[in-house]
A and B are shown apart, each in its own frame.
Chain A
Amino acid sequence: MFRLFPFLLLLSTEALADERTFWRQAREGVEGYSAVVGVETNKLIQATGSQWLYIRNELIAGTGAWVLALTVFALACFYLIRGKVCLTEPRSGEMIERWNKKERWLHFYTATLFIILAITGLSLLFGRSLIIDWVGHEAFANYAEYAKIIHNYAGPLFSVGLVLMGLIWFEDNKFRKIDGLWFRQLGGFIGNKHPSAGRMNGGEKAWFWLLMTAGFLVTVTGLNLDFPNLEQYRLVMQISHIIHSVAALLLIVGALAHIYIGTIGTEGALEGMITGKVDKTWAKQHHDLWLETLEKQSSTTCGERKHTTESISQNKSETLLKKS
């Protein structure tokens, strides 16, 4: 073969497999010298880009589309089969504060950014195949440009929300033995009895920890992708992008479920997050242990509240476990 760089290289990389060291080095991305200043300008070939392209276009976009579609489909089915989880007892009229103001602000701050990021992010992943034909090329490009800008600025803001959530809700979301029971009963889906739960039930904790872990990955990779001026190598960006996409898709799947449960899936959940207060009945049905703690705690001093809550729910949960 002639060293028809890179004309033949493009036609057939295989044919060049036996070529001399130079081409091996070139394909391996060995660094050389270039008068042109910049990131990796001294590499002739960056070979992993094609793998990244395959992973993004085929695996992530392909699989991701199915996963998202299936999630929506599953939630729809669930709704049709199970319907809304209503309060089993009439409302007591007695309202208990479940989410204080800070928590609610933080929730909606993060949630809004999440939705924006999800929509703009998904637009970049699927817009080309879904939206262009629908709205036209220029209109989509216009939209996509803003989508990109919004995504790039919203991302760091979102990560701030994520960090605060982690700090505020970390204690409440520590897994305890009782959560095992909750999971075994799939949060009440199996059996007729609603499983016991503290301030956060097993599902909420799972969602919290998904947010924390996948969210961490999305944040770190996202910030990395957001600042190419830090002169990262392309391989770093490709890997970041893959992790970012996969983690983001997981979060979106989780978020869809979360939103479902928090809105049409469960009576009284959304009002709790909007007003901060839930009916005592609701509390008893969904977070019985938390309610008990609150009630016992009214006799203790404020300063010891937290500690007491925990020890009580701990005792209670152990009792429950023994029973089951």
Chain B
Amino acid sequence: MARMKFICDDDRCIECDACITACKNENEVPWGVNRRRVVTLNDGKADETSISVACMHCSDAPCAQVCPVNCFYTTEDGVVLHDKDLCIGCGYCFYACPFGAPQFPQDGAFGNRGKMDKCTFCAGGPEEDFSEAEFEKYGRNRLAEGKLPLCAEMCSTKALLAGDGDVISKLFSQRAVERQLNQEESDNSASGPKLWGWKTAYKE
């Protein structure tokens, strides 16, 4: 059974923010709502590392556990979705989520945040596939079109991977192993003492 996942290869992420605008483009989310974002730690320092993050579609999703109206559900593909008709905009999912995925369209005075919005893995929502209601509330349903999330499909350096967890983790580990081997080889002949990359990270 496929379980949809995202992986971000931080050796390749350059914080170009394509994932963010691709998401805006595809799902027409309004200003102020960002289903995906890129976080750079140690910005401007030697260890600078960027990671693109959105809803991780957790297996045991905290948002789903805390929701007072139980509006979350997990599809058979392992995508965590929610029903905006049920959502009351309480914000609890936002407090529970480690990744800051839940977004709210309004400013929030007196708790008026509007319906929660988050990454759907481009899988739409509970409305009928490709219906206008689905698009308006949840954005595009690429999964039903046989496509994967646009953020990953458009990633400038193919750092962001999306797909079945087994497939992409295998792909990623293969990538990492090869990267390590090649860099070791290069290390031996290169003048530099340190190649900043997966290997150093691994052996540190």
Interface residues of A (CB under 8 A from B): 2-8, 10-11, 19-22, 25-26, 30, 32-38, 40-47, 49-50, 52-53, 56-57, 123-125, 127-128, 132, 137-138, 140-141, 144-145, 147-149, 152-153, 225-229, 234, 237-238, 241
Contacts and interface: CB of A to CB of B under 8 A. Distances in A.
A34 B90 CA distance: 25
B41 A44 contact: yes
Given A3-B201, A144-B69, A227 B51 contact: no
Interface stretch (B147-155, B168-176, B183-191): B168-176
A277 B20 CA distance: 67
Contacts of A153: 110
Interface in B74-110: 85-92, 94-100, 107-110
Contacts of B6: 7
B110 A44 contact: no
B56 A10 contact: yes
Given A20-B204, A34-B37, A144-B68, 20 more contacts: A3-B198, A5-B7, A5-B8, A19-B201, A20-B201, A21-B47, A22-B49, A26-B41, A32-B40, A36-B37, A41-B34, A43-B39, A46-B99, A57-B66, A123-B68, A140-B69, A141-B85, A149-B112, A227-B110, A241-B95
Interface string B18-36: 0010000000000010100
B70 interface: yes
Residue picked from B34, B39, B53, B58, most chain A C-beta under 10 Å: B39
Contacts of A3: 10, 176, 198, 201
Contacts of B70: 128, 132, 137
Contacts of B204: 20-21
A237 B94 CA distance: 10
Contact of A36 (B34, B67, B89, B91): B34
B99 to A, nearest CB: 7
Interface of B: 5-8, 10, 15, 17, 20, 32, 34, 37-43, 47, 49, 51, 53, 56, 58-59, 62, 65-71, 85-92, 94-100, 107-113, 165, 168-169, 172-173, 176, 198, 201, 204
Contacts of A226: 109-111
A43 B100 contact: yes
A127 B176 contact: no
Nearest to A42: B39
B100 A141 contact: no
A35 B37 contact: yes
Contacts of B58: 10
B47 A45 contact: no
A128 B90 CA distance: 14
A152 B165 contact: no
Nearest to B56: A6
A38 B34 contact: yes
B4 to A, nearest CB: 11
